[in-house]
């Protein structure tokens, strides 16, 4: 019987989700810290890259889009440059923005993060600078927003509320929204803000507070999983159908009006940054519920997505493919490492958003031997992720002759993917790897030291984009050609059966 979570993630269904809440613009300044300021005892960040991402409800929308849902955002921005950047980002992600209203009386919420790297190590947050207004939106603007989103309910599978206490969800906005959605037969899930009156979430199909938010609402402190379960049960008294209390490392506590009460344990993770984990959990719950998943599958999806999110620096959406790949790794399968070039480019874009460096090498890898393994392990040390370009059967024949390869391309790809040092394998069909390098644009291109760096194919492309070439030693005792010759040479000495 198929795993329900795998079936959910492999389902081509793209649910329609109406997302309501506070949209923000996250601005990232990436750079290197090389000295202390002479003006004050503070580090000097030399900025090398600026990046804009959607924050708040916009970030939840980006995560829903990455999960292949079809989100429509209902929100308010300022009538300013940052608001126009928000609209551009929404358009790029395919998020419907017809319910996003500009308000000249308030600024677009902007959170600017400074991230510095010292001695070529991982970047770390140095400071965050916020510009925002948390004043409630006007009654007339709230009425306009409700009218617009009301027109969308007929084509919506689920409504999600992402409340960041920046004015959109203030007052009686949420009760009025829930009333309209219930009249249209559309369930509502909400991520409450800390300190809110949870009575305004009455009628919601589910609420998703973290342990701090739930504890504040109940006047208690949640320190253990059992206390989380008790909190989830007590939250039902606010008139919601279900409650999912996120307990970070302890998983998610679930309770609903059908009598289901259960703790879904999380898997231990190497935490890089908790930013965005709550949004990722909310997005996964929304996607799963809109797709018709049961509570167990929904919370398992949320646990998996939230766990992957905390392993990344900054807010980087998790895709269904990445979740499937994680499940595959857990079950010791390797198929999700072998990608097409278009799939790979998408994966590498998300990897680079975390500040990680991509290393790449390439070859035929026919009859994988210890020399190959050693060079691949060295290549992996040059970056945070290793891509292996693998010559197809046709290109191997063009390079090596009609009797090669010995092992077909799928078999070679599977063997490479089974190595822990290899993160992705992509098969290319041309004799030269240059076209693949143009698409991957690795930060580090790795080849054996039988070539000088300037002789390595693709070195000009890599250097033009700020990368570099590294050569690693070969193991001279191993060669595919020698292995083949040895296998074809009859052994010396007495033959079998000789007295």
Average pLDDT over residues 37-52: 89
Cβ atoms of 307 and 266 closer than 8 Å:
yes
User: So where are the chain's domains?
Assistant: 4-186+267-330, 335-486
d(CA 264, CA 208): 14
Q: Is residue 273's pLDDT more than 60?
A: no
User: For the stretch 337-372, what's the b/e string if a residue is b when 16 or more beta carbons lie within 10 angstroms of its beta carbon?
Assistant: bbbeeeebeebbebbbbbbbbbbbbbbbbbbbbebb
Containing 97, the helix (H) or strand (E) segment is strand 96-103
Q: Does 13 have pLDDT greater than 70?
A: yes
| Candidates 3.40.50.720, 3.30.70.270, 3.40.50.620, 2.40.50.140; CATH matching 335-486 | 3.40.50.620
What does the pLDDT average to over 308-313? 71
- Cβ atoms of 421 and 446 closer than 8 Å: no
332 pLDDT more than 60: no
- The structure's pTM equals 0.65
| Per-residue confidence (pLDDT) for residue 495, from 0 to 100 | 47
pLDDT at 385: 86
Alpha carbon of residue 446 to chain centroid: 26
Q: What is the mean pLDDT of residues 235-262?
A: 91
pLDDT score of 496: 44
Residue 184: predicted pLDDT: 95
Quote the pLDDT of residue 150.
87
pLDDT of residue 431: 86
CA atoms of 329 and 339, how far apart (whole Å): 15
State how beta strands 252-256 and 242-246 pair: antiparallel
DSSP 210: B
Range 30-43 burial, b when 16+ CB lie within 10 A, else e: bbbbeeeeeeeeee
Chain center to CA of 332? 21
pLDDT for the residue 289: 94
- The model's pLDDT over 404-419, given as tens digits with 9 standing for 90+, comes to 888 889 888 988 988 8
Alpha helices by DSSP H, 219-339: 225-235, 277-290, 295-309, 320-330
- The third-level CATH classification (topology) of the domain covering 4-186+267-330 is 3.40.1190
- Known catalytic residues? 279
pLDDT score, position 483: 60
């Amino acid at each position: 019987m198929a795993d329900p979570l795998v079936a959910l993630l492999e389902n081509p269904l793209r649910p329609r989700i109406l997302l309501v809440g506070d949209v923000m613009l996250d601005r990232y300044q990436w750079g290197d810290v090389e000295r202390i300021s002479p003006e004050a005892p503070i580090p000097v960040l030399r900025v090398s890259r600026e990046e804009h991402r959607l924050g708040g409800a916009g970030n939840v929308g980006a995560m829903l889009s990455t999960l292949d849902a079809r989100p429509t955002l209902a929100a308010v921005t300022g009538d300013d440059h940052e608001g126009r950047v928000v609209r551009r980002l929404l358009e790029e992600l395919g998020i419907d923005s017809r319910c996003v209203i500009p308000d000249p009386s308030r600024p677009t919420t902007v959170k600017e993060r400074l991230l510095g790297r010292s001695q070529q190590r991982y970047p770390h947050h140095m400071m965050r600078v916020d510009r925002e207004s948390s004043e409630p939106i006007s009654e007339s603007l709230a009425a306009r927003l409700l009218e617009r989103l009301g027109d969308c309910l007929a084509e919506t599978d689920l409504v999600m509320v992402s409340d960041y206490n920046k004015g959109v969800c203030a007052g009686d906005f949420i009760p009025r929204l829930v009333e309209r959605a219930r009249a249209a037969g559309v369930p509502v899930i909400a991520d409450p803000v800390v300190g809110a009156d949870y009575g305004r979430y009455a009628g919601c199909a589910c609420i998703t507070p973290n342990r701090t938010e739930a504890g504040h609402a109940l006047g208690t402190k949640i320190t253990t999983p059992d206390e989380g379960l008790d909190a989830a049960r007590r939250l039902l008294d606010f008139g919601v159908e279900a409650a999912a209390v996120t307990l970070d490392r302890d998983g998610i506590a679930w309770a609903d009006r059908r009598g289901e009460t259960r703790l879904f344990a999380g898997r231990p993770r190497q935490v890089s940054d908790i930013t965005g984990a709550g949004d990722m959990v909310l997005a996964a719950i929304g996607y799963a519920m809109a797709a018709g998943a049961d509570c167990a599958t929904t919370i398992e999806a949320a646990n998996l997505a939230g766990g992957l999110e905390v392993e990344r620096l900054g807010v980087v959406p998790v895709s269904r493919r990445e979740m499937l790949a994680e499940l595959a790794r857990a079950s010791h399968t390797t198929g999700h490492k072998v990608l097409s070039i278009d799939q790979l480019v998408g994966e590498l874009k998300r990897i680079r958003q975390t500040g990680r460096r991509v290393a790449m090498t390439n070859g035929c890898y026919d009859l994988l031997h210890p020399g190959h393994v050693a060079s691949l392990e060295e290549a992996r040390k040059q970056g945070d992720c290793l891509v292996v370009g693998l010559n197809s059967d046709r290109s191997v024949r063009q390079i090596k002759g009609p009797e090669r390869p010995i092992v077909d391309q799928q078999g070679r790809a599977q063997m490479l993917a089974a190595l822990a040092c290899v993160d992705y394998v992509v098969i290319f069909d041309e004799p030269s790897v240059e076209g693949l390098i143009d698409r991957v644009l690795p930060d580090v291109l790795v080849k054996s030291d039988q070539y000088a760096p300037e002789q390595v194919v693709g070195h000009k492309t890599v250097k033009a984009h700020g990368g570099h070439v590294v050569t690693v030693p070969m193991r001279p005792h191993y060669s595919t050609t020698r292995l083949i010759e040895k296998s074809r040479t009859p052994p010396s000495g007495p033959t079998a059966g000789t007295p």
